[in-house]
Structure 1
Amino acid sequence: MEEKLLKRISWVFEKFSYWQVGERYYSSTFAVAGCSWHIFACREGDKKDDHLSLYLELVDVPQSLPHGWKRDVKFSFTLVSKAKGKSNKTLGGQVCFDANHTSWGHTKFVSLTKLRAEDERFLVNDKFIVVAEVHVLPAKVVPAETVKVSEPDGASKDNLDEDDDTSKDGSDDETCDVNGFEVSSSQVESVRQIFKSHPDIASGFRPKNQQIRRAYMNELLSLIETLCQSPEKLSEDDLSNADDTLADLIDVGFKLDWLKTKLNEVSEKKKMEKGSVARIQKMEVQVQKLKLIFSDLETRLQKEKSEALTARAPLSFDDVVC
């Protein structure tokens, strides 16, 4: 029996009104079947035919995979509606990833008219939530051939059930409830530690939909992961995005004064690190100049010593009489 691997990721895409046509906006990277993946969204089309596009992309391939590797993947995207009585929008398909085909998706996942529709409530406060389910079959080597994507309609057996919020048999993404949040098994200890240190963190967070709750918890965990990086690795854009994410989480009801303090601390460390790097570079230039001066002085000193030894040497008897 072939082993199947499953991963479900929920992601909040923000500031949609600022998105540029054709520019990609990425989720965090996640691991499935030993490979790294992410989802990305973008606006496609013109003013008469604008759509939201969603893609699954293979980011990193282990070197252990043999030449000619392929990955059969069944995946779905669900656009979450916050409106009561309204359905989420789900599209799925089964595709084959290889070295030449590392991203698959739906160019016209949903029209922007429908995305922005007030009664659909897909886009709320300039944000929308996407849940991606990724089933990966074991790697295999097959003869090279043309790969085609399958985009089945809602009745197809390849379409994943949009209402199913539980892990399936054989998956690597079992979920547990931690203080009312359904989180993956790999996140349980982290989420428990957050609630242990800050019991009232979600007391003002109102959404009941588990997909929405999970998306915001993923956003919180991703923010904490960002702050755990070395300031040297963080860019100004990273810190700006972290500040926006923090504001978003506070806006939906999380109590994060403690995290704001930590973000300020990391920002100050980044300023210190940036200032130190500039001073170190300046000092290194000065040291190099001093080394050149020292080297030149050392050469002159050795020359002077040589000339002094010559001047001090007495004439021999032969030198005098000859």
Structure 2
Amino acid sequence: MEDKKQTSFTFEIDNFSEKEAGRRSPQFLAGGCEWYIQVYSNGELVYDHLSMYLAASTGTLKRASFSFVLLNQSGKEVYRTKELCALFCNQLTTAWGRSKALPLKKLQEKGFLENKKLIIKVEVKVIEVIDEAEEVTRKEKVDVQGFKVLHSQAVLVSRLFEKHPDIAVNFKPKNQQVKTTYMIFLLHLIETLRKPPHSISETELWIAGNELMELTEAGFKLDWLKTKLRKVSFKRMTSYDNVSRVQEFENQVENLKAEVSLERKTTYDHCSRVRKLEKQVKNLTAELNIEKEKSATYATKVYALEKTMSDIIEFNKKWNSEQV
């Protein structure tokens, strides 16, 4: 299924008070699915923070990315949460969001609350609708250990129970549709953790941890999957460390190459300057020699003229004395 366009919905809370209980927004449509926002003004689990959650109103299992934005009354963005991506289904009462979205002290700063009004915008993008649970109700079903699944899933589920026979011993839900949805939920989580660790994002790991927690709370025994999650997290961290080191070395090599190239260029430039200066010195030396030769010639001529003048003066003196 191709990515659908992002949809935004704005929820305005008048007379916002830190003491009141949770607020639920009207339902809105995004990606062909119905949603609502749940807001806790004094936190749901953390009592000094604003908590915000996105929940699905329809039973279809879907994967969506979303983020929350706080606006002032002029519509200007004053705060935005990081984007999350998660699986949603109202039959699992799954809501995703931020229990520590924003410290309550921060809300008192200028721009967040104007006239005691809190304006929350959620941006939702449905990436994938996984309507396998509905397909199971329409198509021929296979019962595997009390879970109704499609023929295409029967082998996977059977192997799952063979490896972990007590996986659903304490499973709580009795409704068949809900049981099917939980099983699909579990299969998708297993599929995620089978991917190469380096291809799993940090957000996906965070969501996988939360999904694992919800499946465990429903009664699945998933200690083996917790171990798998820890290993994947460690391998991902290690692979990223190695990649970082390789990139660091590559950067160092590139920097050294650049320095060597610069040094070569600098050396070449210095050599060029030296050769140029040597040529200039050579030319100046030649000109100086010429000038010296000229100076020597002029000096000889001057000396000859001076000698001639001296001789003439001496001759005149003698001639004048003889005449007397």
For the pair shown, the structure with the greater C-alpha radius of gyration is 2
- Give the structure-1-normalised TM-score: 0.45
- Higher fraction of helix: 2
Structure showing greater relative contact order (alpha-carbon pairs closer than 8 Å, 6 or more residues apart): 1
